[in-house]
C-alpha cells in the first residue's frame, strides 16, 4: 500500500523540493499546508501516514501544531523539521514534544522518512 | 500717566479748590465748611496720582483722579451763584460715582470682558439721561437746574422713577459682577480684591437702599444710611490705594526670598520659595533650553507654556538679556508685574542654577533614551539580519543541499535526466544564495566605504537612487571610520526616504568640512513634511549623529521639500 504524506511549510520552494523527495521515496503527497491552522485541518481530513512539519510557521509554531496533531490525528507519524538544528530549540523541548523525530532540513532524506512512516525505524 | 500729566492734574485740582475758596469768600460763606468736602476730593486725586506714579499702565490711577476732580469741580461750581454752574455741578456729582463704579470693576488690571465694558458704560449714560431730573433737594435759595423738569407729577415723575430704578438695577449688576469675581477668584486674586470688593458691596447695598427710599419705599435707610455711604466713599481712595500698595508691602517677601535662597538646593525648593514670595501656591517654573528651543520643568521633562487662555499667566524671566525660563502663575499676579519682576530678579542666580540643573537632567534623560534606542536599534538590526539569513540564503542552501542529495541518488539509479534537472536547480539555488548574501553583507556595512572612501561610496549610493542625485562632496584628509560611516548613513537613509516618500524630481547631496566639523546635507524638492518621529529611521540617524557630538536638523515644511543636515565633530 502507498504511504501518504502532508507537507507543512510556509516556503513554497521547500514544499516543492520536499514533495519531489517524498514522491521519489514512494510517498503519495496528498496535501500541503502553509500554516499551523491549515495543518491541523488538512491532517484531520486526510489522515496521512506522515506529516512533515516545519517549526517556523506564520501563525502558531510547529511544536504547538505537533501537540494538537497528537490529539486530533494520533495515527499520523509527525516529523518536525527546520532550517535550524534541534539544539537551537533545546533538546529537552524537542524530547517533550509528541513527534516521531526532529530532522534538520539539510539532513532530510526520502529513505529515512519512508522508514519512519512505515514504522521500521 | 506721565510725570507732566500728573503735575497738570495736581495743578488742576489745586486751581479748582482755589476758585472754590475765592468763590466762597466772595459770597461771604465760611471757607471752613469746604474743608471736609475738598479733603475728600483731594484724597481721591492724591490717591490717583500716587497710584498712577506707581502703576503708569494701570487705569486705576486715572479713574481715582477723575473721581476726585469731578467731585472737587462739583463742590466749587456749587459755590458759584449761577444756574449753569449749578447744573454742571449736579451732573458732576453722579459722574464722580460713575468713575468710581468704573474703577470698582477695572481694579486692578482693567476690564476683563466685553460684557464688563458694556456694564461700565451704563452709569455714564445714566448720568446724561438723569440730568433733567437732578436737583439739590428741598432748599429754597439753591440755584436751579437749567434743564430741570418738575419731578413731582406727570411725565417728570415717571422719568425720575425710571432713572432711580435704572440706577438701582445698574448698582445691583455691579454687585453681581463683583460677587461673582470674588467667588471665582483664586487665592492670589482674592488677596488683590480683598480691600475693594467687600467695601464696594456694602456701598452698593447702602446706595440701593438710599435710592429706593428716594422713591418712597420704606427701606429704613435714613440719614444714618447716607452717613455710612459717605464714610465708605471717603474711605474709597484709601482702600484702592491700599490695594495697589499692598503689593509694595509684599516686597518684604523679596528680602526673605533672598535669605531663603541661600539654602535652596536643586529639586523643588526654589519653586516653594517663589510660591511663598509671590503668594501664589500654584506657581510653576519652566526653564528655557536654547538647544531645544523649548521649555523643561525642574526634572528636565519637556513642558509647554499655557496659551494664555486667562486661567494661567506667563511671565518670561531673563537674566543679562538671555532667557532663563518662565513663571506660570495665577493671572492675579499681573496686578503687580513689578513685584513679579523683583522676585525673579532676586531669584535670578538661583533660577539660573536651577535652569542648569534642569538642563543637565534633560540631557541625561536624552542620553538615556538615545542609549536605549541605540541598543534597541542594534537588537532590531541583528534580528533583521537573522530573519533575512533564515528566510533567504539559509533556505536556498537547504534546497541546494537537498537537491544535491537527491541528484546523487538519481545518479545511483541511472536516472541521468532527473539528476541533471536537480543539479540545474541546485545551481540556481546557489546563485540566488550568493546574491542574497551579497545584499545582506552590503546592508551590514558598506564595503565601498572601507575600500574606496566616503566620497566614492556616497557617489555609488547616489547612482543607485531612482531619483536623480547631484553630489558635491569633498573631504580634507582622512576621517575616522565612525564619522565616515555616520556621514554615509545620513546620505543613504535620506536617499532611501526620498525614493520612498518625497516624490521629488531631484536631490542635492553636499558634504563639506567646516573647520573641524563635517557637514552633510541632503536636500530634495519633494513634498516635504518629514520629521523625526519615534522609532523612525531619522530618529536612528539623529541618535547616531548625537554619539559623535553632532546634531541632526530636519527642515521640511509641507510642499517646500526636505533638507536633512548633519553636523558632525571630526575631532
Interface test with B, best of A14, A15, A84, A105 (most B CBs within 10 A): A105
pLDDT value, residue B446 = 77
Is the CB of residue A113 less than 8 Å away from at least one CB of chain B?
no
More confident residue, A75 or B152: A75
List of chain A residues whose C-beta atoms are within 8 Å of the C-beta of residue B401: 106
Nearest CA in chain B to A13: B399
Residue of B nearest to A9 (CA): B395
Q: Which of B394, B403, B409 is facing A83, going by the closest CB pair?
A: B394
Distance CA B424, CA B163 (A): 111
The whole-angstrom distance between B406's CA and the closest CA on chain A is 7
pLDDT at residue B444, rounded to an integer: 80
Q: Round to whole Å and give the CA distance between B535 and B58.
A: 52
- Integer CA distances (angstroms), B477 to B512, B516, B560, in order: 12, 11, 35
pLDDT score for B310: 66
Enumerate helices (H) and strands (E) in chain B, giving the number of each. Answer: 19, 10
- Set of cell numbers at residue B339: 513685584
Neighbours of B354 (CB within 10 A): 24
The continuous run of DSSP H or E covering B178 comes out as helix B154-184
**CB nearest to A106's CB, from B391, B401, B409:** B401
Which residues of B fall within a CB distance of 8 Å from A11?
Answer: 391, 395
C-alpha cell belonging to residue B89: 455741578
**Whole-angstrom Cα distance, residue B398 to residue A82?**
10
Tell how far CA B91 is from the center of its chain: 44
Q: How far apart are CA B504 and CA B468, in angstroms?
A: 9
**Residue in chain B lying closest to A20 (CA):** B406
Q: Which residue is closest to A21 within chain B, CA to CA? A: B406
Residue A86 reports pLDDT greater than 60: yes
User: d(Cα B397, Cα A17) in Å, to the nearest integer?
Assistant: 12
Backbone angles phi, psi at B559, to 5 degrees: 85, -10
C-alpha closest to that of A71 among A111, A32, A98 = A98
Nearest to A14 among B395, B406, B409 (CB): B395
- A46 CA: distance to closest CA in chain B (Å): 26
**Strand ordering across the sheet containing B551-555:** B469-473, B507-514, B517-524, B563-569, B551-555
CA atoms within 13 A on the CB side of B568: 30
Q: Which of B386, B399, B426 to mutate to test the interface with A (most CBs of A within 10 A)?
A: B399
Strand ranges inside B320-419, DSSP E: 322-329
Shortest Cα–Cα distance, B440 to chain A (Å): 18
As averages over each run of 10 residues, the pLDDT of chain B (571 residues) reads 83 89 83 83 88 77 89 87 84 88 80 82 89 70 72 81 87 86 76 75 79 70 67 78 64 61 65 81 86 84 78 81 84 74 79 86 88 87 86 87 90 89 91 88 79 87 91 86 90 92 93 89 92 86 88 90 92 67
CA B396 to chain centre: 63
Query: Is the CB of A106 less than 8 angstroms away from the CB of B398?
Result: yes
- With CB atoms and an 8 Å threshold, state whether A83 touches B403: no
Q: Rounded to an integer, what distance in angstroms lies between the CA atom of residue B458 and that of residue B449?
A: 8
Backbone phi, psi, residue A36, to 5°: -65, -45
Contact A11 B395 (CB under 8 A): yes
pLDDT value for B204: 81
Q: Measured in whole angstroms, how far is the alpha carbon of residue B60 from the centre of its chain?
A: 25
Contact A13 B399 (CB under 8 A): yes
Handedness of CA B478, B484, B488, B491 (dihedral sign): negative
B109: cell is 488690571
Residues of B with Cβ-Cβ distance to A84 under 8 angstroms: 390
What average pLDDT score do residues A44-72 get?
93
pLDDT band at A8 (very low <50, low <70, confident <90, very high): very high
CA distance B318 to B360: 19
| B253 Cβ contact partners less than 8 Å away, ≥ 6 residues apart | B276, B277, B278, B279, B343
Q: With contact defined as beta carbons under 8 Å apart, do B115 and B342 qualify? A: no
Q: Do A13 and B395 touch (CB under 8 A)?
A: yes
Å from B436 to nearest chain A CA? Answer: 16
What local confidence, expressed as pLDDT, does residue B565 receive? 95
- Give the per-residue pLDDT at A93: 87
| First-to-last C-alpha distance (Å) of chain A | 18
Joined grid coordinates for residue A98: 509528541
CA distance A45 to chain B (A): 29
CB B224 within 8 A of CB B213: no
Could you tell me which residues are beta bridge partners of residue B323? B318
Distance CA B387, CA B561 (A): 35
CA distance B16 to B382: 92
Q: Which of A14, A20, A24 sits opposite B398 (nearest CB)?
A: A14
Inter-chain residue contact B405 with A109, CB threshold 8 Å: yes
**Nearest-10 Cα torsion for B531, B532, B533, B538:** 110
Compute the nearest-CA separation of B389 from chain A (Å).
10
Residues A15-28 pLDDT 10s: 999 999 999 899 99
Which residues of chain A lie closer than 8 angstroms to B393, CB-CB? none
User: Is ipTM strictly over 0.90?
Assistant: no
- The radius of gyration computed from the CA coordinates of chain A, to the nearest angstrom, equals 13
Chain A stretch 31-50, residues whose beta carbon is closer than 8 A to a beta carbon of chain B: none
| Chain A: residue whose CA lies nearest to B425 | A17
* Distance in angstroms (rounded) separating the CA atoms of residues B81 and B136: 14
Distance CA B215, CA B233 (A): 22
Query: How far A68 CA lies from chain B's nearest CA (Å)?
Result: 26
Contact predicate B403/B425, CB 8 Å:
yes
Amino acid at each position: 500500500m502507498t504511504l501518504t504524506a502532508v507537507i507543512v511549510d510556509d516556503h513554497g520552494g521547500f514544499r516543492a523540493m520536499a514533495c519531489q523527495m517524498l514522491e521519489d521515496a514512494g510517498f503519495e503527497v496528498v496535501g500541503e499546508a502553509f500554516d499551523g491552522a491549515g495543518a491541523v485541518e488538512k491532517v484531520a481530513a486526510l489522515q496521512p501516514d506522515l506529516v512533515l512539519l516545519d517549526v517556523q510557521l506564520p501563525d502558531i509554531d510547529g511544536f504547538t501544531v505537533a501537540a494538537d496533531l497528537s490529539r486530533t490525528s494520533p495515527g499520523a507519524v509527525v516529523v518536525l523539521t527546520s532550517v535550524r538544528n534541534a539544539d537551537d530549540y533545546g533538546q529537552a523541548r524537542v524530547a517533550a514534544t509528541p513527534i516521531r523525530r526532529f530532522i534538520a532540513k539539510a539532513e532530510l532524506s526520502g529513505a529515512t522518512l519512508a522508514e519512519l512512516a512505515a514504522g521500521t525505524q | 500717566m506721565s510725570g507732566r500729566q500728573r503735575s497738570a492734574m495736581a495743578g488742576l485740582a489745586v486751581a479748582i479748590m482755589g476758585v472754590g475758596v475765592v468763590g466762597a469768600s466772595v459770597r461771604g460763606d465760611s471757607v471752613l465748611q469746604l474743608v471736609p468736602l475738598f479733603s475728600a476730593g483731594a484724597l481721591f486725586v492724591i490717591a490717583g496720582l500716587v497710584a498712577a506714579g506707581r502703576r503708569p499702565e494701570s487705569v486705576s490711577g486715572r479713574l481715582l483722579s477723575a473721581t476726585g476732580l469731578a467731585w472737587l469741580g462739583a463742590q466749587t461750581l456749587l459755590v458759584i451763584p449761577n444756574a449753569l454752574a449749578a447744573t454742571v455741578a449736579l451732573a458732576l456729582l453722579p459722574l464722580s460715582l460713575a468713575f468710581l463704579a468704573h474703577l470698582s470693576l477695572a481694579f486692578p488690571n482693567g476690564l476683563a470682558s466685553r460684557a464688563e465694558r458694556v456694564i461700565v458704560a451704563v452709569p455714564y449714560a445714566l448720568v446724561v439721561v438723569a440730568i433733567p431730573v437732578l436737583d439739590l433737594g428741598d432748599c429754597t435759595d439753591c440755584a436751579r437746574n437749567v434743564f430741570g423738569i418738575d419731578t413731582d407729577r406727570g411725565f417728570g415723575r415717571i422719568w425720575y422713577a425710571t432713572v432711580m430704578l435704572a440706577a438701582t438695577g445698574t448698582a445691583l449688576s455691579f454687585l453681581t459682577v463683583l460677587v461673582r469675581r470674588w467667588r471665582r477668584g483664586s487665592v492670589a486674586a482674592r488677596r488683590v480684591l480683598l480691600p475693594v470688593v467687600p467695601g464696594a458691596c456694602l456701598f452698593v447695598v447702602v446706595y440701593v437702599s438710599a435710592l429706593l427710599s428716594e422713591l418712597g419705599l420704606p427701606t429704613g435707610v435714613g440719614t444714618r444710611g447716607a452717613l455710612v455711604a459717605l464714610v465708605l466713599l471717603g474711605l474709597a481712595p484709601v482702600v484702592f490705594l491700599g490695594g495697589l500698595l499692598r503689593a509694595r508691602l509684599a516686597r518684604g517677601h523679596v528680602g526673605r526670598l533672598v535669605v531663603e535662597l541661600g539654602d535652596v538646593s536643586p529639586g523643588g525648593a526654589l519653586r516653594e520659595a517663589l510660591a511663598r514670595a509671590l503668594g501664589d501656591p500654584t506657581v510653576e517654573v519652566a526653564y528655557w533650553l536654547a538647544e531645544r528651543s523649548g521649555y523643561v520643568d525642574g526634572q528636565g521633562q519637556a513642558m509647554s507654556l499655557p496659551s494664555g487662555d486667562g486661567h494661567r499667566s506667563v511671565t518670561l524671566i531673563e537674566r543679562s538679556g538671555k532667557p532663563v525660563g518662565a513663571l506660570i502663575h495665577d493671572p492675579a499676579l499681573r496686578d503687580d508685574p513689578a513685584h513679579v519682576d523683583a522676585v525673579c530678579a532676586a531669584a535670578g542666580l538661583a533660577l539660573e542654577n536651577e535652569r542648569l540643573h534642569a538642563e543637565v537632567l534633560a540631557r541625561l534623560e536624552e542620553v538615556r533614551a538615545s542609549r536605549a534606542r541605540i541598543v534597541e536599534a542594534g537588537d532590531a538590526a541583528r534580528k533583521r539580519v537573522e530573519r533575512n539569513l533564515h528566510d533567504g540564503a539559509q533556505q536556498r542552501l537547504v534546497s541546494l543541499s537537498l537537491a544535491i542529495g537527491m541528484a546523487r541518488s538519481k545518479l545511483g539509479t541511472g536516472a541521468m535526466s532527473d539528476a541533471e534537472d536537480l543539479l540545474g536547480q541546485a545551481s540556481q539555488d546557489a546563485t540566488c544564495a550568493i546574491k542574497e548574501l551579497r545584499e545582506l553583507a552590503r546592508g551590514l556595512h558598506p564595503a565601498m566605504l572601507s575600500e574606496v572612501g566616503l566620497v566614492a561610496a556616497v557617489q555609488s549610493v547616489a547612482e543607485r537612487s531612482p531619483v536623480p542625485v547631484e553630489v558635491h562632496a569633498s573631504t580634507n584628509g582622512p576621517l575616522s571610520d565612525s564619522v565616515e560611516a555616520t556621514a554615509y548613513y545620513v546620505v543613504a537613509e535620506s536617499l532611501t526616504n526620498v525614493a520612498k516618500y518625497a516624490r521629488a524630481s531631484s536631490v542635492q547631496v553636499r558634504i563639506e568640512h567646516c573647520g573641524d566639523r563635517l557637514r552633510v546635507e541632503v536636500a530634495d524638492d519633494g513634498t516635504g513634511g518629514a520629521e523625526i518621529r519615534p522609532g523612525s529611521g531619522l530618529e536612528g540617524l539623529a541618535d547616531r549623529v548625537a554619539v559623535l557630538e553632532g546634531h541632526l536638523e530636519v527642515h521640511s515644511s509641507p510642499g517646500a521639500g526636505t533638507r536633512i543636515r548633519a553636523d558632525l565633530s571630526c575631532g
